[in-house]
Amino acid sequence: MLKCFIEQTERSIPIVSLTAKQWDSWLAKQKPAAQQWLATLNFSVKPGSTVLLPGSEGQLDQVVLILNDAADFWSFGCLSCSLPPGHYHYVDINDEVFFHRAAMAWGLGAYEFTRYQAATKPQVQLLIPPTANIQALNAKVKAIYRVRDLINTPTEDMGPAELADTFVKLGKSFHASVKQIVGDDLLKENYPAIHAVGRASPREPRLLDLTWGDKNNPKVSLVGKGVCFDSGGLNLKSGSGMTLMKKDMGGAANAIGLAEMIMLLKLPVRLRLLVPAAENVVSGNAYKPGDVIKMRNGLSVEVGNTDAEGRLILADALNEADSENPDLLIDFSTLTGAARVAVGTEIAAFFTNKEGLASALLKNSEEAQDPMWRLPLYKPYQKLLESKIANLNNSASSSYAGAITAALFLANFIKEETHWVHIDFNAYNVAARPGRPEGGEAMAIFSLLGYLVKKYSA
């Protein structure tokens, strides 16, 4: 069990959660000493704010948290990193789903990346009652911790081989089938783009492949972009542009996280997880602007920009995943800065070719408070990917609509009838929010998991 949770304790401090509209009614019922304390503090009743109430002997007697609204579970995530050490429990939360989410926010707020330095957050623990599913809660929070740890780990310790180690260990823990195609074997197995992007690094590129579940169940395939570091290749990024490029495997991390949750919940699906893993760096044999790559599906692609590498390795993996005619195909990637410009860093942009699927994802996104926003697969922009010497160019001829043209590029490697979702996100919190510390982040996972549970659990 995670250190931030506890199942039994002799004493725990109550946490009362209120909306601003409920404040006056609650305050009127409190003892005069508590009312005087709050008046002395001149406590401002604003969403997200907390106040500590002392007991008669000066001990911490009660915590009050102000919520944005009755559905706001994320604000609980600010408590596990700010309260004094001790044991705590939630008061008057009778809805099981809300309690689960509020406890999850507590657990996610307690996260700290401690690989290179000692923990600094206080040791606070939330009491989980016997009626709650502590196993599911622990497992979900651990899966998000894994996603964050993978993204936060510098490339020196999280290259293609190290990412593969995590992949293999996860597969073994769920008795899944796992294989790797490494280095020049990628050419033998017809994955030319993954090889081209990763061949300049001494750390060999590879395709990681996991399958799990009854082969007679509906096929759900996940693909995650695993560029463990992106220098831009010969179209070299600036120094500031490379600062956070350890997170360019955030798509792989999120795909792994969702796969872990699917296997944990034992969803009745045939899961396949594909991660093309590579470093996009510079050496004498680096792929070059102007090169033409004959892709896995036979299309030729001119390399207009070596810094548009993510779509190349995804194309190989997506084409393989699509060859099995999955019931649903989802890919995750930190693909374009244009998506960040469109929706910012806190929202996952997504594309899909199916209207019903889009509506369902938006609904689940709202329910899970895990923001996603749809961008259009506007086919007339396909002309921006034209090449004079090949079927396609990996870099659009215009700087506009970069997220759309990247998605359209990927669409060339998937059948029109496939139910496909393409996620383009930041996978990184640039600033801390309740339950979401600064650093690597799981995005869109809870929205997608909610959709998958509804679709396949029955």
Catalytic residue positions?
237, 311
Q: Which two tokens stand for residue 420?
A: 């496909």
> Is residue 226 within 8 Å of 160, Cβ to Cβ?
yes
Which three-class secondary structure state does DSSP give residue 391?
coil
Q: What is the DSSP string of 259-321?
A: HHHHHHTT-SSEEEEEEEEEEE--STT---TT-EEE-TTS-EEE-S-TT--HHHHHHHHHHHH
Quote the DSSP letter at residue 57: T
By the 8 A CB rule, do 264 and 184 touch? Answer: no
**What does the buried/exposed string (b/e) look like for 214-230 if buried means 16 or more CB atoms within 10 Å of the residue's CB?**
eeeebbbbbbbbbbbbb
Phi, psi for residue 380 in degrees, rounded to 5? -55, -20
Most distant CA pair in the chain, distance: 81
Give the burial class of 183: count Cβ atoms within 10 A of its Cβ; 0-12 exposed, 13-18 middle, 19 or more buried.
middle
Please state the separation of Cα 128 from the chain's center in Å: 26
Q: Two tokens at 360?
A: 């369902």
For 38, the 3-state DSSP assignment is: helix
Angle, CA 419 vertex, CA 413 and CA 422 arms, to 5°:
65
**CA 397 and chain centroid, separation:** 30
* Residue appearing with tokens 């992106």: 230
Query: Are the C-beta atoms of 257 and 446 separated by less than 8 Å?
Result: no
